[in-house]
Amino acid sequence: MIENLTPQQAWELLQQNTSAVLLDVRTQIEHAYVGHPIGAVHIPWKEAPSWELNPNFVADVKKLVPNTDAPILLFCRSGQRSLSAAKALETAGYKHPINIIDGFEGSLDPHNHRGNLGGWRFCGLPWQQS
């Protein structure tokens, strides 16, 4: 079963566990232009414009994190793609894939804007833009 953590809980785990990896599964454009947590590694789960699954996702993660016991904290824009990616890693034998609830930008607000209700940035956690 996939564990779900808030951005604050994910940040605390990253500070406490040096083997934990923060994995950004968004598109290259999202990672570069919207911003990303400092120290996050980028391996897209899907890529625009086709939004097809990245056929190399699990293989790329295995190169980055060969230790299947290491916690892998995954995030996307709002926590949906990252949950699917976490399930794929669990199927591939990873024992601690963790989904970050609300992702980087959080859910849509009543005005259809992100970043006002939750997510990594909203919580004031360290991030940068390329």
Residue 41 lies in a domain: yes
Q: pTM of the predicted model, to two decimals?
A: 0.93
Residue 65 lies in a domain: no
Mean pLDDT of the chain: 94
Residue 71 lies in a domain: no
Over residues 10-46, the pLDDT tens digits come to 999 999 999 999 999 999 999 999 999 999 999 999 9
Instruction: Assign residue 25 the CATH number of its domain.
Output: 3.40.250.10
Q: First and final CA of the chain: distance in angstroms?
A: 34
Residue 86 lies in a domain: yes
Residue 101 lies in a domain: yes
Residue 39 lies in a domain: yes
For residues 100 and 12, give the distance between their C-alpha atoms in angstroms, rounded to a whole number.
12
Q: What is the number of domains present in the chain?
A: 1
Segments forming the whole domain that contains residue 14: 3-52+79-128
Residue among 76, 88, 98, 101 flagged as catalytic:
76
Residue 89 near residue 39 (C-beta atoms within 8 A): no
Over residues 43-94, the pLDDT tens digits come to 999 988 888 999 999 999 999 999 999 999 999 998 889 999 999 999 999 9
Residue in 116, 52, 114 with CA at minimum distance from that of residue 81: 52
Q: Can 76 be counted among the known catalytic residues?
A: yes
Residue 94 lies in a domain: yes
Residue in 95, 92, 66, 71 with CA at minimum distance from that of residue 5: 71
